[in-house]
Amino acid sequence: MNKITKVFKGSVFHSKKFGELQFLENVLIEVNEKGIIEEVIENDSLIYEEKIKFAKENCEFIELKDGEYFLPGFVDLHVHAPQWPQAGIALDEPLNVWLDECTFPLEEKYKDIKFAREVYTDLVKQFLARGTTTVMYFATVHNEASLELAKICAKLGQRGLVGKVVMDDKIMNPEFYRDNSTEEAINNTEKFILDVKELGKDVIQGVYPVITPRFVPSCTDEALEGLGKLAKKYNSYVQSHCSECQWEHDFVQERFGKRDTEVLEEFGLLGSKSVMAHCNFLNEADGEIFIKTGTAIGHCPISNSYFANAVLPVKKLKKQGVNIGLGTDISGGFSPSLYENIRHAVISSRILEDGVDSEKERFERGVSNSRISVVEAFYLATKGGGESLSLPLGIIEKGYICDLQVIDTKAKNNVLPDFGVFPKKEHLLQKILYLSTIDNVKKVYVQGNLVHSKGE
């Protein structure tokens, strides 16, 4: 057994199974020097008092106050870090105009490492302050700035999975912002993988390289093939956008005579360490390919309401067996908060179920059995994210990584009162998920280490 160095005492909310909520009252969470949970001791255990005494004398002992609760740290599966300055901007434009006129000129600026450092440092802090402890990032085409993002995650204590973006097609991408050649795109990706692996050796919470073809339309066949080979060679994470919107889905169909999912699979880009953002136009056969290969969906509900032309059928895909987690998609989604994305995942699923055109007959308006509950959305933001990344994240249990957020329901600027009317614990979690703001996230721990403290 590894040495226990920290013990947390307090009540926990987590979801071990999609749709199931567990509340653990005033448990002890024993954490070893590697930041892994050694044991969770319930308050009716015979050794409970003895363990508290031992912890107070031998370990760092962290005890929650009245009105405070532990939640697992959130996992954000889809973020464009360089787009942080663009959050909330130009969302009235369609995706292609938004990309061409705003996003690409912005991403080009990250050739300037100072600018990259300033933006990325702020963004990682913003995520930690909202309880997001693990993030899968798209950076830009630039190796130096992309590596800088991985270094900033390492330094600030966030678990970062970072990709240097590949966009090499000379027709589809502007001259001012793309890889210089296919060969360079592949070589730079390999160099990036090696650099991040080297960096990750000394990072307790882990930083990981991610092979990142922006999306099929922006890459040549040769680049997609080369990246697929690298994924195999390094058993690396892969991320991209898949069947995000009508335009993208149709474009791939026209170029290859195949569906986006089939094309990505044939190039070797789908595997147990692959996360595909959006996936709104997946059919059942695509879902089977995701299951067979172990690929997960990064569901970005806010972004989808702007750019996707559809709502992801989360309930149907989960029932089929596909792994799904949540993503903010900064800045297709305007908010860096997974709390806001949990809310929007619920709301958009209900709109999908009910339908929107009141002139249609009631049962012809929507897609029945589509709604998800807020507890199901909570699962996506936590355990669902961990499953998608094949990492032991998202619940507070023996063997899992100790990533925690401390929620203060009595926070000065945003008290979450129920005036004693709703004693059920599930109601309390519902209130936390729907009403919490940055003010309620009091402390955040990654791999057992404090990485954010409110007001500090």
| Residues binding ligand GUN (CB under 6 A) | 80, 95, 99, 103, 214-215, 241, 244, 303, 307, 329, 332
The answer to whether 7 touches 47, Cβ cutoff 8 Å, is no
Taking the complex as a whole, the smallest distance from the CB of residue 300 to Fe ion amounts, in Å, to 7
Contact call for residue 329 and Fe ion (CB under 5 A): yes
Handedness of CA 293, 298, 304, 310 (dihedral sign): positive
Residue 173 or 370: the one with the smaller Cβ distance to ligand GUN is 173
Residue 307 or 334: the one with the smaller Cβ distance to ligand GUN is 307
Taking the complex as a whole, the smallest distance from the CB of residue 142 to Fe ion amounts, in Å, to 18
User: Closest by alpha carbon to 146, among 133, 128, 165?
Assistant: 165
The β-bridge relationship of strands 68-72 and 132-138 is unpaired
Taking the complex as a whole, the smallest distance from the CB of residue 134 to Fe ion amounts, in Å, to 17
Residues 165-204 contacting Fe ion, CB under 5 A:
none
Structure tokens at 384: 């669902």
Q: Which region among 157-165, 177-185, 326-334, 419-427 touches Fe ion (by CB under 5 A)?
A: 326-334
Taking the complex as a whole, the smallest distance from the CB of residue 17 to Fe ion amounts, in Å, to 28
Tell me the residue length of the chain.
456
Question: How many CB atoms sit inside 10 A of residue 50's CB?
Answer: 11
Residue 303 or 440: the one with the smaller Cβ distance to Fe ion is 303
Taking the complex as a whole, the smallest distance from the CB of residue 244 to ligand GUN amounts, in Å, to 5
Residue 68 forms beta bridges with which residues? Answer: 408
Residue 307 or 445: the one with the smaller Cβ distance to ligand GUN is 307
Q: Mark 269-308 with x for binding to Fe ion (rule: CB under 5 A) and - for no binding.
A: --------x-------------------------------
Taking the complex as a whole, the smallest distance from the CB of residue 259 to ligand GUN amounts, in Å, to 17
Residue 195 or 329: the one with the smaller Cβ distance to ligand GUN is 329
C-alpha to C-alpha distance for 158 and 204, rounded to whole angstroms: 10
Q: Which region among 27-35, 165-173, 321-329, 387-395 touches Fe ion (by CB under 5 A)?
A: 321-329
The answer to whether 18 touches 377, Cβ cutoff 8 Å, is no
User: Closest by alpha carbon to 255, among 263, 245, 244?
Assistant: 263
Taking the complex as a whole, the smallest distance from the CB of residue 435 to Fe ion amounts, in Å, to 28
Question: How many CB atoms sit inside 10 A of residue 13's CB?
Answer: 23
Residue 69 or 110: the one with the smaller Cβ distance to ligand GUN is 110
Residue 90 or 415: the one with the smaller Cβ distance to ligand GUN is 90
Report the partner that residue 214 touches, choosing among Fe ion, ligand GUN, none (CB closer than 5 to 8 A by kind).
ligand GUN
Report the partner that residue 120 touches, choosing among Fe ion, ligand GUN, none (CB closer than 5 to 8 A by kind).
none
Report the partner that residue 353 touches, choosing among ligand GUN, Fe ion, none (CB closer than 5 to 8 A by kind).
none
Q: Concatenated DSSP letters for 81-123?
A: GGGGGGTTSSTTS-HHHIIIIIIHHHHHGGGSHHHHHHHHHHH
C-alpha to C-alpha distance for 407 and 420, rounded to whole angstroms: 18
Helix (H) or strand (E) holding 282: none
Residue 19 DSSP class: T
Q: For the chain, first and last CA: distance in Å?
A: 35
Residue 37 or 277: the one with the smaller Cβ distance to Fe ion is 277
Q: Tell me the residue nearest to ligand GUN as measured from the CB.
A: 332
Express the helix, strand and coil content of the chain in percent, nearest 5 each: 40, 25, 35
Contact call for residue 76 and Fe ion (CB under 5 A): no
Report the partner that residue 307 touches, choosing among ligand GUN, Fe ion, none (CB closer than 5 to 8 A by kind).
ligand GUN
Residue 303 or 447: the one with the smaller Cβ distance to ligand GUN is 303
Range list of H helices, 130-259:
143-156, 182-200, 221-234, 246-256
User: Closest by alpha carbon to 82, among 183, 196, 164, 166?
Assistant: 164
Report the partner that residue 103 touches, choosing among ligand GUN, Fe ion, none (CB closer than 5 to 8 A by kind).
ligand GUN
Phi-psi domain of 394 (left: phi exceeds 0; alpha: psi -120 through 50; beta: other): left
Taking the complex as a whole, the smallest distance from the CB of residue 260 to ligand GUN amounts, in Å, to 11
Geometric angle at alpha carbon 335, from 75 and 373, rounded to 5°? 60
Report the partner that residue 243 touches, choosing among ligand GUN, Fe ion, none (CB closer than 5 to 8 A by kind).
none
Taking the complex as a whole, the smallest distance from the CB of residue 95 to ligand GUN amounts, in Å, to 6
Residue 179 or 329: the one with the smaller Cβ distance to ligand GUN is 329
Backbone angles phi, psi at 15, to 5 degrees: -130, 110
Binding stretches for Fe ion (CB under 5 A): 277, 329
